Structure 1
Amino acid sequence: MKTDRAQYTPVYGLRTHARVYGHGGPLVIVPGLGCASWMYVRLARELAKGRTVYAYDPPGHGHSEGRPEWPVCLEDLTDHLAAWLDATGLRGSALLGHSIGGEVIFDLAARYPQHAGPLIACSPTGIPENPSVLAQLLRLSLDLPRERLGLLWPGMRAYTRCGTLRMLRLAQDQEDHNTGPLLPAVKQPTLLLSGQADPVIRRWTVQALHTAIPNATIREIVGGTHALMDTFPRTVARFTVDFLDDLEK
């Protein structure tokens, strides 16, 4: 029996999609650059055993509408996420951000603190000095052969939907995005999930985030790649649920 459903919400005049799974306390998945809600099905279904999971598509990603000229920077993504949380009544929910989605939830927690609940950052970007676009592409090329073959087609669909120009604009802004002053302002309890075999986000990167964010904890997954949510969905879900359950005690 199918237990998930599509939800569409108007935000900034754009039809914004999220895939909703399960029942229980809310948790929002914020995807990586160019990624889409359908790439997070394996994780969402694990988390949905005890949570209501919203796999959110940012504007111009997945099934959400965008504009040719917008979004062009990380702050656009953050502003839209904040407005979507308001529109759906999910302000203050737990947020799980993958890759650049981790950087977006850090930005949200610093600039819209009332909108963010506990944070789970999975293979997150967001160090004060982000690599160049070329360096990001080189690291991704090292990571791709390590990912599950079944993620290839969903990933290609997502990148095609987002478009090369939008992805390049956002990647360039990520290079210039200065998170240094923002990270100490993140007061929410934060779980940092790191893959030991991730060539995109290095161990020292996660350590730098741990140092900068006041209330952060690291969990490392042995053998984990950049797409932790797909290669180790049960492990990511277990760490996430344990983290949230401990906070709710």
Structure 2
Amino acid sequence: MTLHKGKLQNQYTTVNGLSMFARVFAEDLPEDAPVVILVHGLVLASRYMIPTAELLASKYRVYVPDFPGYGDSDKPDEALELPQLADVLCQWMDAVGIKQAIMLGNSFGCQIIAEFAIRHSDRLFAAILQAPTIDPRARNLPEQLWRFALNAPYEKASQLPIQVQDYAAAGLPRVIRTIQMAFNDRIEAKLPYMHIPTLVVRGENDPVVPQNWTQEVVEMLPNGKLKIIPGGGHTLNYSKPVELSRVSDEFIQETVADLIIGGVQ
């Protein structure tokens, strides 16, 4: 089935006294249509997830929240740590009435999903990890800056203003703490405990998440699959949304069919 762009609505939900903003793509879908939550990456918020979200919204109930501290959500004084980000995501799901979801994350968003999978495994139906960070061989700022510089030619120029606005909204102290958080996290220690079906997606030319690290991620996952997007860089959700949406849709449909055949649903 061809994916087409869905309709966008803005939603504000109070969670722990903080207003969380989310982009919700509302279509006339069956009540049992799977919920897909897109999880934004390092400091960036929901806007750069829109190209992929609006394509998936033709078949799924799609939500793209801004975590507290980022985008259009409230800004607590201190940056939420990784376990807190996972917990507030679960609390936000409670507040908007989502019992279980498929999560698609980009970059640092994959680290949040892995933490969520450990802490709230019953709320996660399946996961799509697009460019999961951080490669243990490059867990330092100079190497990451170099890799992102190499990645720049594979991204759309229109993404830069979004990045600038999102970083400005977060503020320098939160930006610094979020980067530290990403470096301190060891996603490789969590992947073996993610027993849900998981698709790992890599852009063919992504220097931030090289092929050897991507393959290791897949091998550590108990139920992992790999898809490579030809010509893609690090941020496929913005630069190649059609391709990412297509492989995500195929994975979700296969996963749902397998669970039905297995008698889970």
Residue 63 of structure 1 corresponds to which residue in structure 2?
Answer: 72
SS at match of 1:149: coil
Residue 131 of structure 1 corresponds to which residue in structure 2?
Answer: 139
Residue 24 of structure 2 corresponds to which residue in structure 1?
Answer: 20
Residue 5 of structure 1 corresponds to which residue in structure 2?
Answer: 9
For residues 144-155 of structure 1, the aligned pairs below 5 Å read 144-155=152-163
For residues 133-212 of structure 1, the aligned pairs below 5 Å read 133-212=141-220
Q: CA RMSD in A?
A: 1.8
Q: Could you tell me how far apart the structure 2 residues matched to 1:231 and 1:97 are?
A: 15
Q: Could you tell me how far apart the structure 2 residues matched to 1:129 and 1:214 are?
A: 22
What letter matches 2:79 in structure 1?
W
Q: Give the greater-gyration-radius structure (CA).
A: 2
Match 1:49 to one of 50, 58, 61: 58
C-alpha displacement of 1:128:
5.9
Q: Is the contact between residue 6 and residue 58 of structure 2 (CA under 8 Å) also seen in structure 1?
A: no
Q: Could you tell me how far apart the structure 1 residues matched to 2:237 and 2:246 are?
A: 11
Q: Could you tell me how far apart the structure 2 residues matched to 1:15 and 1:103 are?
A: 23
Larger deviation: 92-101 or 146-155?
Answer: 146-155
Question: For structure 2, which runs of at least 5 residues remain unmatched after alignment?
Answer: 258-265
SS at match of 1:168: helix
What letter matches 1:142 in structure 2?
L
Q: Is the contact between residue 7 and residue 19 of structure 1 (CA under 8 Å) also seen in structure 2?
A: yes
Q: Is the contact between residue 140 and residue 200 of structure 1 (CA under 8 Å) also seen in structure 2?
A: yes
**In the alignment, is residue 235 of structure 1 matched against residue 239 of structure 2?**
no
What letter matches 1:28 in structure 2?
I
Larger deviation: 91-100 or 162-171?
Answer: 162-171
C-alpha displacement of 1:76:
2.2
Q: Is the contact between residue 127 and residue 180 of structure 1 (CA under 8 Å) also seen in structure 2?
A: no
**In the alignment, is residue 39 of structure 1 matched against residue 43 of structure 2?**
no
Q: Could you tell me how far apart the structure 2 residues matched to 1:181 and 1:221 are?
A: 26
Q: Is the contact between residue 6 and residue 25 of structure 2 (CA under 8 Å) also seen in structure 1?
A: no
C-alpha displacement of 1:112:
1.2
1:8-43 CA-partner distances (Å, limit 9, x unpaired): 111121100110114343110000001111111111
In the superposition, relative to structure 1, how do residues 115 and 131 fare at CA in structure 2: closer, same or farther (>3 Å)? same
In the superposition, relative to structure 1, how do residues 129 and 16 fare at CA in structure 2: closer, same or farther (>3 Å)? farther
C-alpha displacement of 1:167:
1.9
SS at match of 2:212: helix
What letter matches 2:12 in structure 1?
Y
Instruction: Give aligned-pair identity as a percent.
Output: 31
Question: For structure 1, which runs of at least 5 residues remain unmatched after alignment?
Answer: none
Q: Could you tell me how far apart the structure 1 residues matched to 2:136 and 2:220 are?
A: 9
Q: How many residues align?
A: 248
Q: Could you tell me how far apart the structure 2 residues matched to 1:2 and 1:248 are?
A: 22
C-alpha displacement of 1:130:
6.0
SS at match of 1:117: strand
SS at match of 1:119: strand
TM-score w.r.t. the length of structure 2 is 0.88
Q: Could you tell me how far apart the structure 2 residues matched to 1:5 and 1:130 are?
A: 38
What letter matches 2:219 in structure 1?
T
What letter matches 2:177 in structure 1?
R
Q: Could you tell me how far apart the structure 2 residues matched to 1:82 and 1:130 are?
A: 30
Q: Is the contact between residue 130 and residue 176 of structure 1 (CA under 8 Å) also seen in structure 2?
A: no
